[in-house]
Structure formats: C-alpha cells, structure tokens
Amino acid sequence: MRCSERSLSSRFLAAVQEFIVLLVLCWLLRPSTAKEGSLMVIDKAMQTLVDAFQFFDRENRGWITKKDVSIALGTDDTPTAHAHHEAPASNVAAGRRFSEMDFSRDGKVTFPEFVLAIESWAGLDED
C-alpha cells in the first residue's frame, strides 16, 4: 500500500512540475497585453523568475553555468568583482545550488531547470 502511495505521489509531483514549466513557457510566449486582476499576480511572479534567472545569465545565453552562479553569489551586482577572490564557503554554496539546479547534469542550467529548482526549494515536493 505504501509503495503505491509513493508512486501516486511521485506521479502527481511530476505532473505538477510539468504544469509549472508549461505555465512559465506559456507566459514567456504570451502576447504583451494589459494585465488585470489575478493575472497581474501571475505576471509579477513570472517576471520575478525571469529577473532572477537573468541575474545569473548576465551574458543572455539562455543558460547559466556554475561559474555564473559563483560570480553572482560572490558579488553585489558586478560580474568581475571578487571573481578571483571568493571565500571557500561561497564556492561550496554556489556549487550546491548549481548541482540542485542542473537536473540534466550537462553543466548548464536552462530556464525550465531553474524554475523547477526554485519550485523544489519552495517546498512543493515535500510530504
């Protein structure tokens, strides 16, 4: 019984994650029209995700690397400050965050992977 509950829970979580990625992609492809009511809340949330991703993707490549995360977490908003002078603790934290985001394990984090990581950090996948 417990095994089937876990299986159902895993399938539900996968469906929710797919829905979140689809929602984000639909938002990115939306026509730019005036927003009203609850759509403004979704618009603000999505724009926050895009802004956060762009904070790391300063070269606008469409993906981020471990180095991008390390630079962004080690500076206040300039990509070159502290690039050669990062504290070991920040390197460890940047490496952990990057590993959690890189679902495909290809050394690059795309926007959908970034969104799924944020979703998992927010606690949706916890029992």
For helices 38-56 and 2-28, give the axis angle rounded to 10 degrees.
Answer: 90
Alpha helices in 57-127 (DSSP H): 66-74, 88-101, 111-121
- Per-residue model confidence as pLDDT tens digits over 51-96: 999 999 999 999 999 888 888 877 433 445 445 554 566 677 778 8
What is the reported pLDDT for 45? Answer: 81
User: Containing H/E element for 114?
Assistant: helix 111-121
Burial of 13 (0-12, 13-18, 19+ CB in 10 A): middle
What is the reported pLDDT for 20? Answer: 75
What is the reported pLDDT for 78? Answer: 43
**Domains of the chain, CATH where assigned:** 2-121 (1.10.238.10)
Which comes out higher in pLDDT, residue 115 or 76? 115
What is the reported pLDDT for 84? Answer: 53
Is residue 98 scored above 70 in pLDDT?
yes
Q: Calculate mean pLDDT across residues 96-122.
A: 88
pTM above 0.75, yes or no: no
Place of tokens 């993707």: 57
